[in-house]
Structure 1
Amino acid sequence: MDKNSTLFKSVVSGIKKVAVVATVALASVALFACSSSSADNSSKKAEKDDGKLMTVTVYDDLANYQGLAKGWFAQYVQDKFNIKLKMVAPNVAGGGNTLFDTRTAAGNLGDLIITGTGHVNKLVKANLLTDMTPYLDGMKYIKKYDGATKAISDLADKKGTWGIASSVSSGSPTEASEGLEATTVPYIRWDLYKKIGYPTLNNTDDLLNALKEMQTEARKEEGKKDIYAISLFKDWDGASMQNAGQNLAFYGWEPTNYALAKGNGSKYESLIANNSQYVQGLEFLNKAQQMGLVDPESTTQNWDTMYAKYQAGKVLFSYWSFLGQGAYNTSANMAAGKGFELAPLKGMKVFSNGNMPDGNTTFIGIGSKAKNKARLVKFINWLYSPEGVQVQQAQSTGYSAGIKGLTWKMDGDQPVLTDFGKKALLEGGSVKMPAKYGSGTWKDGISTLNFVAVMQYDKDPTTGYKYGYVTWPSVLKINETKLSKDWSEHMGGATSTMDYLKKNNELLVAAGVSYTAPEDPATVATTRGSVQTQIVSSSWKMVMAKNDTEFKSLLTSMQKTVKGLGYDDVYKVDLKNSKAKNAARQKVIEQYKDEK
């Protein structure tokens, strides 16, 4: 998922397990005149590669690691391309747009650039991106996904190949892009839900009551008081409080900053409206907090700290499959009947992004000041190759399987995990890597790029099966555990979360489309920053309010303050963009029909 997915307001992750996904629009930033002339890179001849070992600075909005990359993936890349990856990560460094501003003002954002497509036009105008056209001979995978390069060229409004969009897919835009698990739904510790008698969950109040009982049961079993139903973090906050916005997905909504929309374009509403889906998300978390279900460290911890708590079994509710299941659903836990599974919350209409043939709203490109650009183009081409997808996207919870021969192999005509691969991908990833791949464990050496080039449920042409290893017949058999069998028995025989949602008509697929909103007018951009600060700060205060009266008072105060700052002007822009996105969805549906 990428950080710029529509369901994530400032996303995916210190993610040790990444999913999809899916787009936080980065706030518009005024680029300084980094160069007095915007030379046409396409007129230049391809520069020769000196072949030397080089350190490549990667500016990456998705990364959750800062500094020189270490571990097996870094070693794999060095062995293959003779480059070291040095990560510049706003998620870690802090400052958000400030870091972007500072580096662009200096005239060098990075050698490799992974950022939102909303920045393309400005970066090209400021001569901060390289036109890759002179280096494309033999780059079959970049050429294969020409729709994803054209999408970037269209945004640049200038002839050239300025980058390639992420998360490309060959699937239908009207089919859900997830495989077995939905990205954002209520996942709960099923073993504890079982122990309290599988209570009916008619609404989110019933869910909170069940979580209260589950928390009591867990503390009793473990003899510890630091187990909480819900744990939060601030790392991904953007236009609003990211955690509070996740309930939108339960009912088919998505945010375009401050405009909320049904995935099919049937309804729109303001984020700060009294009973908006976002405000309901705040109410849900505040009720949980008043019930003693929210980890008191939520306001100060980061993703990594929170993730470790999931691994230790100290959190019982998860918004995402890659969090709860990724951290806790080890082979040992599932065999014992323990783990996270979809909660049977009634009335859901879960939002799902359809496949995106032209990619998502994050892209990868090459900085204009980079050396050995031909080698960097080869590296990007590799990221979109079957080998690159398997190795770079190797995570857990269904992404790619990693290094052929080490974590997976072909058994006859079927791909299977090796014994090492089972430990790496199904048992938490703490297994130590062989010396030839560098030091450390599998999970610590996973790619720091956190970049999804090709969707994991596309077919790998080298195997005939999907990249996502959890769909392999051999892995499906392994994953039949005490946990999955009990869940299936109480969910109408469903074999997976997506199977359950489809069978029960609880899925709303928003056609997959790469839509990048136009640049904000200067006055709106300035106002947006002030509004964002106020909304995020007030939202956290509302979640931590001691009672309903204080909650409502804070809501009223926030509404009054942001309207005074010019919220209505910003909302008007976001609403227009949200409607334009849904219009683009209708267009891509018609285009796909015509092509068929």
Structure 2
Amino acid sequence: MKLTRLAAGVAVGSLAVASLAGCSLITGEQPSDAQDSGSGSFPEAWEETITIDVFDGLANYMGVQSGWFAKIVKDKFNMELNIIAPNVAGGGDTLYNTRVSAGDLGDLIITDKGEKLDELIEGGLVLDAGGYYDRMEHAPRFDAAVDKLNEGKDGVYAFPTSVSSIPPTESSEGLEPTFGPYVRWDYYAELGYPEVGTLEDLLPILADMQAAHPTAENGQPVYGLSLFKDWDGNFMNNAKQPATFYGYDEMGFALAKADGSDYQSIIDDDSAYVRSLRFFHEANELGLVDPESTTQNYDTMFTKYQNGQVLFSFWPWLGQSAFNTPENTAEGRGFGMVNMQDQQIFSYGAEIYGGKQVLAIGADAEDPERIAAFIDWLYSTEGAYVNGSQTGAAAGPQGLTWEVGADGEPELTEFGMEALLTGEAAVPEEWGGGTYRDGVSALNVTVVLPADVDPDTGFPYSYTFWPSFQETQSNPFTEDWSAHMDGATSTMDFLETHDQILVAPGGGYTSPPDTSEIETLRNQIKAQIVQYSWQMVFARDDAEFDALLDDLQTTVEGLGYDKVLAFDMEKAEAQNDARVAVAEQFG
């Protein structure tokens, strides 16, 4: 039933996109750097082998793409991808700035839309690919997103990612939300599945779980919570996460509810952010917070989840990814979401206008026509199956990891089950060799949303939705979780059935950049917020917590906090206006 509803939603969304495409701004007739590139379709074969530089702000791999994805690209385009990854190279924006100063960022560029893209266009580092657009076969399915992205520009300078024909009022996520309160379900079951009314009700439950299991199998101590600092920015990142359980997401120093019904300053006494800090502080007073939280990074913390040393996870893609192995779930062990009765979990609606990242062709690309053909292919059915983020659920190459069964439904092959669930399966040489994980697309960007439906099969590209896959996932852990969650077939099924999810429509909003004054103020203020937040978590008692909060509020207000907050509030309200507009147009 869920798939039927999803497919119907896609049909409606597709009609909306098609109607918009009929009056598209992008016709291929506008002035273009690539206007003399010919007409018709792209070549079926490319004689000369080329290697292109891919500057990729999302990549976690540096070097030439290898394995099965590399072979597909080589066979189709006679092209190799040399990934240039600032995440791996280190130095933050240093690599980006150095290459921009040299006038050549890359042949293919994956970057953020908005200020960064505009700077590259103004600097002449990005090609106007309008002359190739009318030769594309697949990208024009998402004309609405391409139009919106290039609105106000004299050409087609960028192509959207995370596009979908699902209505923007539908969740973009799969069977699991992005956020949620996940606990070691097997330990929770040992306690008799106690009721969880609010966030704070988790504390005695975690305390009882920790008391019953103080040591993991590796001999190391177990903690209810383990935190990390890697992702701190405008504030302590971990303290924002419980706010999402109540429908909030951040916009600078503001928290905005998905439905536009509430906006908060993060440092207000009664904000969801300060509530999270109090939750962490109370947890620490109970001995539930890993004392290494202030010094460890994400990778170190992730290893602790793998070893069974942590009892609570903010995200399914943390606890479940690390611990819910086939071996553990077969023994009834794993992370599952609890029914926190007052939750309204924030969910990102499908982005009909695309996500934050974009694809662009470098102005000095060696063979822009071939790169344009490659970009177009990423929007194809084949591209949607084989390319995606490294945390996504791309099904991989048809014929290797999956096939269409006798009933016309997609199903994973025996190799696909091993490869997609473990990543370590050895890929046959004729498919590129190496391990499956090593061959995954290093682009690390989803171009077509995995929840979007393949028109050939009628099922989503993500194998996690396939009935044939779901039937294989029944195990003691999932059976017990379902039995105590009203028979829900998935976390998202439970949330939707119990009206515990709040979808923020995918409005395609792009935040304006900080002015130089706002940027200066923000940098001073956020350092104080992060520092005080960590101190508050590890405060000696409630009195010290309250004193630190007072000091934080006084300190940042003296640094111009109110001015930056007003700027962020305007953006949050503008974002909501975009969500309302897109919901009215496409919902």
Shorter-chain TM-score bucket reads 0.7 to 0.9
Q: Which residue of 1 aligns with 2:37?
A: 46
| Secondary structure in structure 1 of the residue aligned to 2:358 | strand
Aligned partner (choices 507, 510, 513) of residue 513 of structure 1: 507
Amino acid at match of 2:119: K
- What is the CA–CA distance in structure 2 between the aligned matches of 1:567 and 1:439, rounded to whole Å? 55
Task: Give unmatched runs, 5+ long, in structure 1.
Answer: 1-39
| Secondary structure in structure 2 of the residue aligned to 1:363 | strand
For the pair 1:463 / 2:457, whether they are aligned, the reply is yes
Contact in 1 for aligned 2:216/2:309 (Cα 8 Å): no
- What is the CA–CA distance in structure 2 between the aligned matches of 1:544 and 1:332, rounded to whole Å? 36
Aligned partner (choices 322, 328, 350) of residue 323 of structure 2: 328
- What is the CA–CA distance in structure 1 between the aligned matches of 2:531 and 2:194, rounded to whole Å? 35
- Work out the percentage of aligned pairs sharing the same amino acid: 46
Contact in 2 for aligned 1:265/1:582 (Cα 8 Å): yes
Q: Could you tell me how far 1:395 is from its partner in structure 2?
A: 5.2
Aligned partner (choices 162, 176, 198) of residue 181 of structure 1: 176
| Secondary structure in structure 1 of the residue aligned to 2:521 | helix
Contact in 1 for aligned 2:253/2:266 (Cα 8 Å): yes
Q: Which residue of 1 aligns with 2:132?
A: 135
Contact in 2 for aligned 1:254/1:263 (Cα 8 Å): yes
Contact in 1 for aligned 2:34/2:130 (Cα 8 Å): no
- What is the CA–CA distance in structure 1 between the aligned matches of 2:86 and 2:377, rounded to whole Å? 25
| Secondary structure in structure 2 of the residue aligned to 1:58 | strand
| Secondary structure in structure 1 of the residue aligned to 2:511 | coil
Q: Which residue of 1 aligns with 2:583?
A: 589
Q: Which residue of 2 aligns with 1:196?
A: 191
Q: Could you tell me how far 1:350 is from its partner in structure 2?
A: 0.9
**Alpha-carbon displacement from aligned partner over 1:482-529 (angstroms, at most 9, x marks no partner):** 111111111112111111112212111111110002233221123223
- What is the CA–CA distance in structure 2 between the aligned matches of 1:572 and 1:495, rounded to whole Å? 43
For the pair 1:535 / 2:529, whether they are aligned, the reply is yes
- What is the CA–CA distance in structure 1 between the aligned matches of 2:77 and 2:282, rounded to whole Å? 52
Distance 1:196 1:159, change over 3 A: same
Q: Could you tell me how far 1:531 is from its partner in structure 2?
A: 2.5
Q: Which residue of 1 aligns with 2:549?
A: 555
**Alpha-carbon displacement from aligned partner over 1:231-283 (angstroms, at most 9, x marks no partner):** 33333333222222111210011111112111111111112222211222222
Contact in 2 for aligned 1:395/1:425 (Cα 8 Å): no
- What is the CA–CA distance in structure 1 between the aligned matches of 2:293 and 2:85, rounded to whole Å? 22
Distance 1:286 1:417, change over 3 A: same
**Alpha-carbon displacement from aligned partner over 1:94-119 (angstroms, at most 9, x marks no partner):** 44344444433333333222222122
Q: Which residue of 2 aligns with 1:245?
A: 240
Q: Which moved more, 1:344-353 or 1:310-319?
A: 310-319
- What is the CA–CA distance in structure 2 between the aligned matches of 1:484 and 1:273, rounded to whole Å? 40
- What is the CA–CA distance in structure 1 between the aligned matches of 2:431 and 2:560, rounded to whole Å? 54
Q: Which residue of 1 aligns with 2:22?
A: none
Distance 1:394 1:537, change over 3 A: closer
Q: Which residue of 1 aligns with 2:398?
A: 404
For the pair 1:497 / 2:491, whether they are aligned, the reply is yes
Q: Could you tell me how far 1:421 is from its partner in structure 2?
A: 1.0
Q: Could you tell me how far 1:581 is from its partner in structure 2?
A: 0.9
Aligned partner (choices 69, 75, 88) of residue 73 of structure 1: 69
Q: Could you tell me how far 1:220 is from its partner in structure 2?
A: 4.8
Contact in 2 for aligned 1:107/1:128 (Cα 8 Å): yes
- What is the CA–CA distance in structure 2 between the aligned matches of 1:391 and 1:149, rounded to whole Å? 22
- What is the CA–CA distance in structure 2 between the aligned matches of 1:234 and 1:115, rounded to whole Å? 24
Distance 1:543 1:115, change over 3 A: farther
Q: Which residue of 1 aligns with 2:289?
A: 294
For the pair 1:126 / 2:129, whether they are aligned, the reply is no
Distance 1:283 1:116, change over 3 A: farther
**Alpha-carbon displacement from aligned partner over 1:299-339 (angstroms, at most 9, x marks no partner):** 34433333333333333222222222223222232222111
Amino acid at match of 2:36: K
Q: Which residue of 1 aligns with 2:54?
A: 58
Distance 1:326 1:545, change over 3 A: same
Q: Which moved more, 1:514-523 or 1:227-236?
A: 227-236
Contact in 2 for aligned 1:360/1:513 (Cα 8 Å): no
Amino acid at match of 1:308: T
Contact in 1 for aligned 2:216/2:308 (Cα 8 Å): no
Q: Which residue of 1 aligns with 2:367?
A: 372
Q: Could you tell me how far 1:392 is from its partner in structure 2?
A: 1.2
- What is the CA–CA distance in structure 2 between the aligned matches of 1:53 and 1:294, rounded to whole Å? 54
TM-score of the pair, normalised by structure 1: 0.86
- What is the CA–CA distance in structure 1 between the aligned matches of 2:98 and 2:289, rounded to whole Å? 37
| Secondary structure in structure 1 of the residue aligned to 2:33 | helix
| Superposition map of 1:145-184 within 5 A | 145-154=142-151, 157-184=152-179
TM-score of the pair, normalised by structure 2: 0.87
Q: Which moved more, 1:182-191 or 1:307-316?
A: 307-316
For the pair 1:106 / 2:97, whether they are aligned, the reply is no
Amino acid at match of 1:579: E
Distance 1:127 1:461, change over 3 A: same
| Secondary structure in structure 1 of the residue aligned to 2:80 | strand
Q: Which moved more, 1:386-395 or 1:174-183?
A: 386-395
| Secondary structure in structure 2 of the residue aligned to 1:459 | coil
Q: Count matched residues.
A: 550
Distance 1:395 1:87, change over 3 A: closer
Q: Which residue of 2 aligns with 1:89?
A: 85
Distance 1:130 1:299, change over 3 A: farther
Aligned partner (choices 444, 453, 462) of residue 450 of structure 1: 444
- What is the CA–CA distance in structure 2 between the aligned matches of 1:394 and 1:464, rounded to whole Å? 22
